[in-house]
């Protein structure tokens, strides 16, 4: 159901209204790209059923799905077309096109080629927890999440989100947990920066450490013990954890990033045992999967915030080496970024 999770706090000034959400989604239904349209975004049925409901309410949680479609034009194809146009101009006028003229030729070439271009689609699951005041988006980047928030802002009067602040930055907390795990019995007191991880979280075997200096050196561990002197040495030399694999309550594994994004979410064995309809096809399967995902993650999120020192209102934290504000990605809705049509860098990669 969810592979990644970007978490946002709904502003207290906006009162969730299911009927208004349904109306807004119906007004922004997904329509595929037109012949010369480079990108299109809109809502589709979360169940994947044609003409199905665009908003599903399951156990008090609201589920949507944003579909983004983009035309893909390889850069080499566009360049070849520009070169053809430039050769024709040079043959007719006896001079090569200038920089500004080539820019205009690029726009013209893209417009000509768009009707023949292939398209790529990306579906983004969206989850609103009105009682908890949270918005979650299954996206690999904040750029994709921006499109969701922009569409919700356009369709819902007064809709806005606020950043989530925690007393500890994720990188600070992750470094502290790793230092505590690498401290051997009999070594005396743990390093000052060491932090015992909360009992509900266990550290797994994947980690990424980066140096903040100009070297930008990176060390990655995959399926490797992290309670080692080597890991501790990297941290003491100044490298900061940017990704760390964790397991919550033996039920959900994920990778926490320095931006407090949850990636590679996986529900472990035993989570579905008490849900008879789990794994079924059709509506029963969707309802069961949605109930499991939202039920588990809505309990994981507050535990994660507590592990990072607790959620705090802006201005209430003290800046220090061990207590720094963590601002969640995307604090205010932004207009969609200008999009270039290229196969080299699709928007979802």
- The pLDDT averaged over each successive group of 10 residues in the chain (349 residues) is 94 94 97 93 93 94 97 92 91 90 91 92 96 95 91 95 91 94 66 85 96 88 93 92 96 96 93 60 83 96 96 56 40 37 38
- Looking at residue 50, what is its pLDDT? 84
- Looking at residue 49, what is its pLDDT? 87
- Looking at residue 323, what is its pLDDT? 38
- Looking at residue 284, what is its pLDDT? 78
pTM of the model: 0.80
* HEC sequence for the chain: CCCCEEEEEECCCCCCCHHHHHHHHHHCECCCCCCCCCEEEEEECCCCCCCCCCCEEECCEEEEEEEEEEEECCHHHHHHHHHHHHHHHHHHHCCCCCHHHHHHHHHHHHHHHHHHCEEEEEEEEEEEECCCCEEEECCCCHHHHHHHHHHHHHHCCCCCEECCCECCCHHHHHHHHHHHHCCCCCCCCCCCCCCCCCCCEEEEEEEEEECCCCCCCEEEECCCCCCCHHHHHHHHCCCEEEEEEEEECCCEEEEEECCCCEEEEEECCCCCCCCCCCCCCHHHHHHHHHHHHHHHHHHHHHHHHHHCCCECCCCCCCCCCCCCCCCCCCCCCCCCCCCCCCCCCCCCC
């Amino acid at each position: 159901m969810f592979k990644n999770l970007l978490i946002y706090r709904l502003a207290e000034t906006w009162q969730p209204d299911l009927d208004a959400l349904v109306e807004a989604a119906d007004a922004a239904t997904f329509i595929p790209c037109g012949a010369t349209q480079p990108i299109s975004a809109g809502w589709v049925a979360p169940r994947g059923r044609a003409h199905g409901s665009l908003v599903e309410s399951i156990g008090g949680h609201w589920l949507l799905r944003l579909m983004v479609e983009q035309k893909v034009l390889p850069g080499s194809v566009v360049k070849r077309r520009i070169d053809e146009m430039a050769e024709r101009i040079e043959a007719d006028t006896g001079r090569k096109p200038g920089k500004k003229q080539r820019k205009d030729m690029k726009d013209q070439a893209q417009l000509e080629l768009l009707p023949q271009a292939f398209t790529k689609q990306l579906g983004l699951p969206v989850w609103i927890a009105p009682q908890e005041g949270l918005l979650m988006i299954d996206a690999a980047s904040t750029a994709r999440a921006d499109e969701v928030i922009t569409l919700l802002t356009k369709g819902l009067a007064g809709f806005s989100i606020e950043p989530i602040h925690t007393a500890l930055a994720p990188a600070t907390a992750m470094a502290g947990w790793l230092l505590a795990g690498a401290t051997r019995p009999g070594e005396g007191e743990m390093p000052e920066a060491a932090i015992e991880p909360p009992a509900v979280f266990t550290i797994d075997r994947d980690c990424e450490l980066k140096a903040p200096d100009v070297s930008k050196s990176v060390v990655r561990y995959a399926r490797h013990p992290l309670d080692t002197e080597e890991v501790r040495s990297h941290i003491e030399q100044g490298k900061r954890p940017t990704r760390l694999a964790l397991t919550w309550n033996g039920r959900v594994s994920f990778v926490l990033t320095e931006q407090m994004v949850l990636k590679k979410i996986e529900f472990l064995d035993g989570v579905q045992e008490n849900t008879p309809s789990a794994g079924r096809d059709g509506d029963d399967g969707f309802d069961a999967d949605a109930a499991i995902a939202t039920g588990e993650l809505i309990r994981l999120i507050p535990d994660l915030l507590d592990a990072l020192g607790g959620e705090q209102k802006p201005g209430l934290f003290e800046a220090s080496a061990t207590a720094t504000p963590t601002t969640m990605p995307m604090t205010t809705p932004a207009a969609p970024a200008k999009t270039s049509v290229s196969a080299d860098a699709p928007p979802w990669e």
